[in-house]
Structure 1
Amino acid sequence: MTAAPTGTAPAGTPPAAAPTASSVLLLHPHDSVGVARADLPAGTVVTLDGGRELPLRADVPRGHKVAVTDVAAGAEVRKYGQVIGRATADVRAGDHVHVHNLGMVASRPEHEFGAGAVRPDVLPPEERAVFQGFVRSDGRAATRNYVGILTTVNCSATAAKLIARQLQAPGALDGIDGVGSVDGVVALAHGTGCGLAADGAGLEVLRRTLRGYARHPNFGALLVLGLGCEVNQISGLLGDLDLPDDRLVVPMAIQELGGTRRTVAEGVARIREFVPDVGRAQRRPVPASELVLGTNCGGSDGWSGVTANPSLGAAVDELVRHGGTAVLAETPEVYGAEHLLTRRAVSPQVAERLLERIRWWERYTADNGGDMDNNPSPGNKAGGLTTILEKSLGAVAKGGTTALTAVHEYAEPLGEKGFVFMDTPGYDPVSVTGIVAGGANVVCFTTGRGSVFGCKPAPSLKLATNSDVYRRMEDDMDVDCGVVLEGTSVEEMGRRIFDLVLETASGRRTKSEEIGVGDEEFTPWQLGAVM
């Protein structure tokens, strides 16, 4: 992949002016394709910005690409002013451009470490926005106040869910002091914890993830539930775990308690004892600098990089300006756009750490008989995305424009302020699990096809890339970013999202919380051999 032409706008940047009435949107002057704003049948004559008329040679679905110039077979195709692949056949202006005539090209971008590392003008403390949150004894801020049941192994998953189910039943906690300040009980069940090496990367990543959840400020108390004979022993998990003084933790093992029924009864009793202590926490004003915002995208479409992702990026910039932290992740979905991030790195070391993670993924996929272009998914392609390069160029827009201050491995604690990156898979539940383990206390999730997602204990806001999916799935979508296509600026949408993040951090329930989504999405990344 060659460097972008001089003066090229960052990937994911929308048109310089508000979209016009043209039915084909051109995102950058150097682009060879535009994006269809509606389903356009063959023979339609569209007028591009500037007045040029273009007859369509094929049907083009909404959100898909239209060639606005001829492209010879083997030549590069550009969108966002960047290369998204090579033409696999001669393409004529007016053609539909997709999997039938556009293919992957090896990602070999040119890097300019730190050339675009814009240090934000962080507001002084007295000018920063505030939210109503909980403050733990270690000073960390919480946006929710849950009791968690943390499982060491899949063998204790059913018991954990049975405990939670009893306590989630209507009236189960009625009459207990402080219950009104407790957001609920969530069972963190997963599919591993045994059948893996006792000293390998698999156990290391699992324990790092579980410890991140154990330390998460959105938990006021924890029941740690194991079977008793697993590789991931409770003692090993909790050993040297630096927890705040006010964190209540009770370990329990099913084998020691005499089986499932007795464990469930004991677990229910112990959590009922927790509730008054957990309920003593009360919301109070907290500066926005204590927010850690996780960003993710799922079910992306051709509008993701035009509406929701850059709008979320504008909100990220605003949060960073208020002294907070925002996290971009999904390493396979920045592949091909990594040069846009290394350009923003605060140091060569930060840039190199990102590139090392990219190289790791290239080796990892090759060792497993795949390649990086196995992404996009079928749903992404139906929505108009063709190659991983195109998807990544839109995905990185979630990270805004400020300097990249750190690169973390999966589930590592997020200690730095500003814009940071975490190495995670692109698979949404696994990715967000790592981000929350790192300390994210709010999540924003963009979607074009209509993902349904929650991630207790962190509230998750879902941002629809187009108004159609927002209307069709209004019970799941929190924000309609499709209005950007009607003239609302990305900056205005960013301010709306930032304000909603503050409201959500203050206790406003998200659509996923209202429905009850978020109990089943805890999915630690499973590395290494299963034995």
Structure 2
Amino acid sequence: MTDLPLPLHAVALLLRPDDSVAVATRDLAAGTSLTLADGAPLTVLVDVPRGHKLAVLDVAKGGQVLKYGQSIGRATAPIAAGEHIHSHNLGMDATEREHEFGTARVTPEAPADLPRTFLGYHRADGRVATRNFIGVITSVNCSASAAKMIADQFRGMAMDAYPNVDGVMAITHQSGCGLVPDSEGGQMLLRTLRGYAQHPNFGGLLVLGLGCEMIPVSSLAEGLDLPEGLLVETMTIQDSGGVRATVRAGAEKIREMLPRVNEATRTPADISHLVLGLNCGGSDGYSGITANPALGVASDMLVAAGATSVLAETPEVYGAEHLLTRRATTPEVGRKLLDRIEWWKAYTEAGEGTLDNNPSPGNKAGGLTTILEKSLGAVAKGGTAEMTAVYEYAEPITDKGFTFMDTPGYDPVSVTGLVAGGATVVCFTTGRGSVFGCKPTPSIKVATNTEMYDRMSEDMDINAGRIVDGTASLPDVGREIFEKIIAVASGEQTVSEDLDIGQEEFIPWHVGAVT
């Protein structure tokens, strides 16, 4: 008895009627008989792994391959319906995209039952924090070890008497000297450090330097628009008498801060105070189908309620930027994004690379082939709302609504920029299983597929793979992510926080010469 052909939708997802490919939802063996929606037969010609692309149409060599209704590349060899489409037969499509401005502006409407408040720490400058940390921030790498020694004294039982303080964290980095302070890279580092120093999730701050660096302690602690009530102390190792003396004195300063920082309590705040950072890492073939668009639903809900969401990772919107410029509130906003794309083209060329070097090996193993495919899935994190602003790296985020920040695609560097800009919650989608945190801001990790979620459930907060499994709808998971954002902003611990991950992930973007 011959097995009856399976309908395509039972084993693969065709995302748009005119797409050239469908995404396999299970491993497909060569010889499997399928039936397309119009009744036409389709035989799987070679094995196609779960999450990878199955050709549903013949494509001539040089022809565009469509997914999401957009080109994800050009065939480098003739492709027959039923073949596996991947790096062996799909390459970059260098066709210039047409950039329109403001032609697809959408203002999302908030559901009537949307929660309107979260429990946060109200700061004197009007911002509302989601966490209440004390930070030991270093002006230069030379003070990094001393900063960690100070922070390490405030772990475990040492914090039991201060239930309203989330911890003491060291903010260390590998720069601060050997670079030109007025250069692009020097200003970027200074902007990042100042952004953390002014972050609402810090109730107290110890600024620690060596004493002879190019970016001195004074440049961080003086002249800043620090919130009233933020406790700030400054020290240098050279003036304090060396590392041991600095650690003793620094720890004493923290002990003096703790009772006052602990006085802060959570009280209701309108969710319009939230700033949500959107990031993805370890993407796979399901990222643009499950976790990313579900996060987009949550982003639209927050924007509808008057909050802010910030998309990032400029190299991972390359090839899909035309979809974002259509959402720009003004031509100037759209052109600023295009200007950053052009900067990246020159930057990667100077480094003997190109923007289509992406995706990573892990992305490709998960089914992604070209940067176009990756980017089209990545922009889904931003939902549908109009784009109100484009920021440079670590620039203060001041506009409400859906916005964009220019960052690299490397996750710790990207999220460091978002947090420096003021993100108070981060949502991080992953298909391969990224383990990530970003103190002092909580990071919610959303899995794109159930297989990875089950294998790494202790590292994931939400399983968006249920969308492909058929056990949850896209709107349902989007609402679940939204509710998790509110709960986490109100104090619920993420899995990353429970593992105490996030201190080592502070990595400012290094640009320019080190002298």
Q: Deviations over 1:339-390 (max 9, x none)?
A: 0000000000000000000000011001110000111000000000000000
2:331 is equivalent to residue 345 of structure 1: no
Question: What is the identity, as a one-letter code, of the residue corresponding to 2:65?
Answer: V
Question: Over aligned residue pairs, what C-alpha RMSD do you find?
Answer: 1.5
Q: Which residue of 2 is the match for residue 82 of structure 1?
A: 70
1:325 is aligned to 2:308: yes
Aligned to 1:145: 132
The C-alpha deviation readout for 1:154-208, integer Å capped at 9, x for no partner, is: 111111111111212x322444xxx010000111111111110132111100111
Unaligned 5+ runs, structure 2: 1-6
- Does 1:240 find its partner at 2:240? no
CA distance in 2, matches of 1:68, 1:173: 59
Indicate if the aligned counterparts of 2:8 and 2:34 stay in contact, CA closer than 8 A: no
Query: Compared with structure 1, are the counterparts of its residues 34 and 334 closer, same or farther at alpha carbon in structure 2 (3 Å cutoff)?
Result: same
* 479, 500, 509: which one aligns with 1:516: 500
Alpha carbons of structure 1 residues 45 and 270: separation in structure 2 relative to 1, 3 Å: same
- The DSSP-based 3-state class of the residue aligned with 2:336 is helix
Is 2:134–2:205's contact at 8 Å kept on the other side of the alignment? yes
Structure-1 separation of matches of 2:382 and 2:424:
17
Per-residue deviation, 1:260: 1.0
Q: Does 1:40 align with 2:28?
A: yes
The one-letter code matched in structure 1 to 2:261 is: V
Map 1:384-463 onto structure 2 (within 5 A). 384-463=367-446
Partner SS for 1:181: coil
Alignment CA distance shift 1:197-1:280 (3 Å): same
Q: Which amino acid counterpart does residue 509 of structure 2 have in structure 1?
A: W
> Which amino acid letter does the alignment assign opposite residue 347 of structure 2?
Y
Q: Kindly state the Cα deviation for residue 128 of structure 1 after the two structures are TM-superposed.
A: 5.7
Q: Which residue of 2 aligns with 1:15?
A: none
Q: Does 1:157 align with 2:144?
A: yes
Match for residue 372 of structure 1?
Answer: 355
Q: Which residue of 1 aligns with 2:244?
A: 261
Task: Provide the TM-score with structure 2 as the length reference.
Answer: 0.97
8 A contact 1:128–1:289 mirrored in 2: no
Q: Using the TM superposition, name which of 197-206 and 293-302 deviates more.
A: 197-206
Deviation, 1:122, is: 6.3
In 2: Cα distance, 1:440 partner to 1:417 partner: 12
Q: Give the letter for the 1:41 counterpart.
A: A
**1:490: how far off?**
1.3
Q: Return the letter of the residue paired with 2:99.
A: H
Please name the residue that 2:474 is paired with.
Answer: 490
CA distance in 1, matches of 2:69, 2:109: 28
User: Does residue 1:116 correspond to 2:108, yes or no?
Assistant: no
CA distance in 2, matches of 1:135, 1:50: 58
Give the Å deviation of 1:46: 2.5
Mapped contact 2:25–2:51 kept (Cα < 8 A): yes
CA distance in 2, matches of 1:123, 1:57: 46
| Aligned 1:117-196 pairs, distance under 5 A | 117-121=105-109, 129-168=116-155, 170-175=156-161, 179-196=162-179
Partner of 2:52: 64
Q: Is the 8 A contact 1:24 1:48 kept in 2?
A: no
CA contact (8 A) 1:293 1:444 kept: yes
| 2:447–2:462 CA contact under 8 A, matched in 1 | yes
Matched with 2:43 is 55
Aligned-partner Cα distance in 2 for 1:51–1:146: 60
- 1:107, 1:336 within 8 Å by CA — same for their partners in 2? no
Is the 2:348–2:355 Cα contact (8 Å) retained in structure 1?
A: yes
Aligned residue in 1 for 2:14:
26
Quote the Cα distance in structure 2 between the aligned partners of 1:50 and 1:25: 15
The residue aligned with 1:12 is none
Q: Conserved in 1, the CA contact under 8 Å of 2:109 and 2:301? A: no
Aligned to 1:7: none
CA–CA distance in 2 between the matches of 1:107 and 1:128? 44
State the alpha-carbon separation in 1 of the partners of residues 393 and 289 from structure 2. Answer: 28
- 1:42 shift after superposition: 1.1
Runs of 4+ displaced beyond 6 Å? none
Matches of 1:65 and 1:278 in 2, distance apart? 53
Cα deviations by residue, 1:214-273 (Å, 9 ceiling, x for unpaired): 111100000101111111111122231011111001011011111111111111111011
Conserved? CA contact 1:23–1:47, under 8 Å:
no
**Runs of at least 5 residues in structure 1 that lack an aligned partner in the other structure:** 1-18
Q: Name the aligned partner's letter for residue 104 of structure 2.
A: G
Q: Which residue of 2 aligns with 1:383?
A: 366
Aligned to 1:222: 205
Counterpart CA distance in 2 for 1:73 and 1:117 is 36
Partner letter of residue 80 of structure 2?
A: R
Please say if residues 128 and 322 of structure 1, whose CA atoms lie closer than 8 Å, have aligned partners that are also in contact.
Answer: no
C-alpha distance in 1, partners of 2:133/2:513? 33
2:4 alignment partner in structure 1: none
CA 1:139 to 1:359, structure 2 compared with 1: closer, same or farther past 3 Å? same
Q: What TM-score do the two structures reach when normalised by structure 1?
A: 0.94
The residue aligned with 1:502 is 486
CA distance in 1, matches of 2:17, 2:114: 39
Query: Which of 259, 266, 289 in structure 2 is aligned with 1:276?
Result: 259
* Equivalent in the alignment of 2:90: 102
Aligned-pair CA distance for 1:127: 7.5
8 Å Cα contact 1:227/1:253 also seen in 2 = yes
Say whether 1:210 aligns with 2:203: no
Q: Secondary structure at the match of 2:434?
A: coil
**Is the CA contact 1:22–1:49 (under 8 Å) kept in the aligned structure 2?**
no
SS of the equivalent of 2:42 reads strand
The residue identity in structure 2 corresponding to 1:479 is I
Q: Distance between the aligned counterparts of 1:84 and 1:48, measured in 2? A: 22
Aligned to 1:494, the other structure's residue is in SS state helix
Amino acid at match of 1:400: G
Letter in 2 for 1:298: G
Instruction: Tell me whether 1:530 sits opposite 2:505 in the alignment.
Output: no
